[in-house]
Amino acid sequence: MTIYQLIEKCQYISIIGMDKNTGKTTSLNRLIEEIGDKKIIGLSSIGRDGEEVDVVTSTAKPRIYVYPNTIIATARDCLQSCDITKEILYSTGFTTPMGEIIIVRALSAGYIDLAGASFNSQNKKVLEKMKKLGCELMILDGALSRSSSAIVSDGTILATGASLSKNMHTVVDKTTQLVETLSLPKVDPKLRDSILDLFEKHSLCVIDNDNTCTPIEVTGIIDVQNKIKLVLSENTKAIAIKSAITDMFIENLIKHRKSFKDIDCIALDGTKFFISHSNYKKSLACGIHFKIINPLNLLFVSYNPYSPKGNYYFDNQGFKDSLEQNISVPVINMREKS
């Protein structure tokens, strides 16, 4: 399957990275190259991306290259770094440290600098506005630790690579776990609605075997740990958490596993899981299963076999084969032409 065939049914795509320099910008440039002559593309970002030198690692990185008629949403200060001829289409009113988010149309080809809104609600409105302005495919480039950008899209691309670790097997294990959590089964629709209603005012609720949802009043992470052990019982069917599911939370559940039989741990989406590979496996062995409220459509995994500083690399075919043996979605090196 070609890249275009993998994404052609989507209107909104997000690119999320497991680490800096895993190839998000390379993936974005490849998408633009593959699709730019077929559809009108709209681009935005959570945070800043597209700069010549990575502001976190100080390593050189590719810039984002666009073609005429591309629509771009970026901060006002970034417009000075764009070497395209542009037409201003809309001022969003959303402010960032680099100025208001402005939507422009590229009248010529060239490099751009993206810095978008920080909140999913704002990004959703920006993408919707870009659609009204004629975009047929909107791409949101996620930033470091902001993988929640995936929830505003109907298709997600995950970028992984050697920057995660010098050990290829470690990278494969971490990627496999994230793919698993991004692809977790969703909860029953009726139960989903009940949980979302409670999440309007509460961050934690317990679901019994008769599907009764009971909110639990908590004031912080420590309070969550204390309350959980008090509400667990053989009648507990599931626990739903609005915030992140962490190692501390999972270890607390495992510690009190004698209080329940099997239990579902429900999160808003697959990006809310911040647990180690070992705790993930322990959870499954203890009868703790994971489900999500908002499923993500993972289109494919892009991989970068090279480290950001160029001091080590993985065998390209070996890395690809290992990933393909462990995950269920296509695996693509975006630097290789199909």
How does pLDDT run across 270-288, given as a tens digit for each residue? 888 888 888 988 999 999 9
Flag the least confident range among 13-22, 48-57, 183-192: 48-57
Using 50, 70 and 90 to split pLDDT, how confident is the model at 189?
A: confident
Nearest to 11 by CA among 91, 128, 181: 128
Amino acid (1-letter code) at residue 29 = N
**Per-residue pLDDT, 269:** 85
Using 50, 70 and 90 to split pLDDT, how confident is the model at 224?
A: low
Using 50, 70 and 90 to split pLDDT, how confident is the model at 53?
A: low
Mean pLDDT calculated for residue range 4-33: 89
The encoded tokens of residue 180 equal: 């698993």
Which phi and psi (to 5°) does residue 251 adopt? -60, -35
Q: Which range has the top average pLDDT, 29-38, 104-113, 135-144, 303-312? A: 104-113
Report the b/e string of 151-161 with b at 16+ CB within 10 A.
bbbebbbbbbb
Q: What is the DSSP string of 125-172?
A: HHHHHHHHTT-SEEEEE--TT-GGGGGG-SEEEEEEEGGG-S-HHHHH
Best CATH choice for the domain 3-182+296-332 from the list 3.40.50, 1.10.3470, 2.60.40, 2.70.98: 3.40.50
Amino acid (1-letter code) at residue 216 = I
**If you ran DSSP here, which 8-state letter would residue 82 be given?**
-
* 120 alpha-carbon distance from chain centroid: 11
pLDDT at 146 over 70: no
**Per-residue pLDDT, 144:** 43
**CATH code, 189-292:** 3.40.140.10
Mean pLDDT calculated for residue range 127-137: 94
Higher pLDDT, 309 or 274: 274
CA dist 334 and 318 (Å) reads 16
Mean pLDDT calculated for residue range 25-42: 91
Average pLDDT, the chain: 87
Which phi and psi (to 5°) does residue 107 adopt? -95, -10
Using 50, 70 and 90 to split pLDDT, how confident is the model at 229?
A: confident
Using 50, 70 and 90 to split pLDDT, how confident is the model at 313?
A: very high
* Residues across the chain: 338
**Per-residue pLDDT, 159:** 94
Which phi and psi (to 5°) does residue 24 adopt? -65, -45
CA dist 26 and 40 (Å) reads 19
- Every domain of the chain with CATH number 3.40.140.10 lies at 189-292
Nearest to 269 by CA among 300, 237, 296, 247: 296
Using 50, 70 and 90 to split pLDDT, how confident is the model at 238?
A: very high
Q: Which residues contact 86 (CB under 8 A, 6 or more apart)?
A: 72, 79, 104, 105, 106, 107
pLDDT at 226 over 60: yes
Angle between helices 221-231 and 247-255 (to 10 degrees): 20
**Per-residue pLDDT, 65:** 94
pLDDT at 117 over 90: no
Q: Which residues contact 325 (CB under 8 A, 6 or more apart)?
A: none
- The pTM score is 0.85
Question: What is the distance between the terminal CA atoms of the chain, rounded to a whole angstrom?
Answer: 10
The encoded tokens of residue 301 equal: 């995994």
pLDDT at 50 over 50: no
- Every domain of the chain with CATH number 3.40.50 lies at 3-182+296-332
